[in-house]
Structure 1
Amino acid sequence: MSAPIRIALADDQALVRSGLKALLAGFDTLAVVLEASDGEALLEALAATPVDVVLSDIRMPGLDGFGLVQALRARGDATPVVLLTTFDEEALPLRAAAAGAQGFLLKDASPEDLLEAITRVAAGETLLAPVSTDPVRARYAYRDQAAPSDTFSEREVAILRLLAGGYSNKEIARAVFLSEGTVKNYVSDILDKLGTRDRTRAVLKAITLRVI
């Protein structure tokens, strides 16, 4: 039997955190090895104890879930993050993707959905569409809707998500463990495939075409 997936858990509500920990303990493939009441505390703990997946509430005092993901990526930590929230707001999946998260779930998701999300992001998958509803997608619609000249690799999609978050080539390089020059080449290829002249147009078109 393979080792359980090591999880770090962040939620400012002690009862919710305890409940999530108890729920996760019911699966023998998962193990909560770190927990904290805010993003800053979890960020500090993760520096000393690496994990396979971070499970974090979005809305926390101090460093919230979005800030936690951004801080991890800024220091070159690509640990997959699943963000949780009780709020079903149309823009949240977009913000989660832009921050660099791999998953997004509402807290009323079933235990099985949570298990599946953790298992899949631990395996390298991404489980969120940055724009999940048509009203949000329409807000970012780009006039040029011609199909890309080629398909996008998983790495290119990941870089597009970071471009959507406003990250520089240097920051993206740290987040995905590539050289800055390699990221620059990826960005050039992405622009060519989308037929756009700059990063902003590339992101808008990628959202419009549901590439991200």
Structure 2
Amino acid sequence: MSAPIRIALADDQALVRAGLRALLERGGIGIAFEAEDGAQLLARLAQTPVQVILSDVRMPGMDGLAALRALRERGDATPVLLLTTFDESELPLQAAEAGAQGFLLKDAAPEDLREAIARLAAGETLLQPVSTEPVRARYRYHAADAPRERFSEREVAILRLLAGGYSNKEIARAMFLAEGTVKNYVSTILDKLDTRDRTRAVLKAITLRVI
């Protein structure tokens, strides 16, 4: 029998930490330590290495994103899964850019949380930042190719995930939308970019600096 995954748990609410601890321990995941803010998390990690860090995004003082950036700056590559109650389309992208491997809402199903932790512990990355400059440097479009309409913030977020190779199902999961809703967004995006091909739409969006 393999040893249980050992994680660090950071959240400013003691009741939330207790609930997550009980939930995860029932699923065979061990809590190495708890922290109530980012600063405490960083201090404890220096003494107690773990396989995965599970952290709230919004915490007083040093929040989850700030702690993540500080962690990466000091060379610590421990996988980080961020949790939040805020359904904001830019948060998954901010999390990826800061160096997180995963992002979930706190009302995610328990099995989804346990699966995400297991995947991160196994070395997988659920969120990946997209580098657009190499593509932009190679291709150019003329003014006639400009989008028919402006893109909403959520459409831009979906375009960036398309650029990362995400399927509609994966985008739906990352952005907490129904798969059918994502399909509708993608259809609108393709129409605005005057193309029916996802790959060409991404290429065009990058070169036109939509993303």
How does the TM-score come out when normalised to structure 1?
0.63
Q: Tell me by how many angstroms 1:68 deviates.
A: 1.0
Q: Does the 8 A contact of 1:102 with 1:127 survive in 2? A: yes
Q: 1:15 to 1:138 in 2, by over 3 A?
A: same
Which protein has the larger Cα radius of gyration, Structure 1 or Structure 2? Answer: 2
Change (3 A) 1:137 1:9: same
**Residue 54 in structure 1 maps to residue 72 in structure 2:** no
Q: Give the 5 Å matches for 1:1-212.
A: 1-28=1-28, 30-128=29-127, 135-138=153-156, 205=206
Q: Runs (4+) of structure 1 moved beyond 3 Å? A: 133-137, 139-142
For 1:107 and 1:6, locate their aligned partners in 2 and report how far apart those are by CA, in whole Å: 20
Gaps of 5+ in 1: 152-203
Q: Is the 8 A contact 1:141 1:205 kept in 2?
A: no
Aligned length: 148
Hey, what's the Cα distance between the residues in 2 that align with 1:32 and 1:138?
37
**Superposition RMSD in Å:** 3.0
The amino acid of 1:48's aligned partner reads Q
Look up the equivalent residue of 2:7 and give its one-letter code: I
Which letter does structure 1 place at the counterpart of 2:39? Answer: E
Distance 1:120 1:140 in 2: 23
Q: TM-score, normalised by structure 2?
A: 0.63
Q: Distance in 2 between matches of 1:50 and 1:77?
A: 10
Fraction of identical pairs, as percent: 64
